[in-house]
């Protein structure tokens, strides 16, 4: 997950385009899903740390 975040916008675009055909998923949807998962994961981590 962190590796994707640290890519340049051009590299992220290329990575998303590489999964478009094999996964039969639009690149824009793949990237959107990544960011939704990242936000949820980050939020969950923050909540866990706040409880301790």
Q: DSSP class of residue 24?
A: T
pLDDT tens profile 1-50: 789 999 999 999 999 999 999 999 999 999 999 999 999 999 998 888 77
pTM surpassing 0.85?
no
Residue 40 is predicted with a pLDDT of: 95
15 CB-near residues (< 8 Å, 6+ apart): 4, 7
Residue 50 is predicted with a pLDDT of: 75
């Amino acid at each position: 997950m962190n590796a994707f975040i640290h890519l340049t916008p051009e590299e992220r675009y290329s990575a998303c385009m590489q999964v478009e055909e094999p996964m039969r998923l639009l690149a824009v949807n793949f990237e959107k899903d990544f960011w939704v998962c990242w936000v949820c994961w980050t939020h969950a981590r923050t909540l866990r740390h706040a409880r301790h």
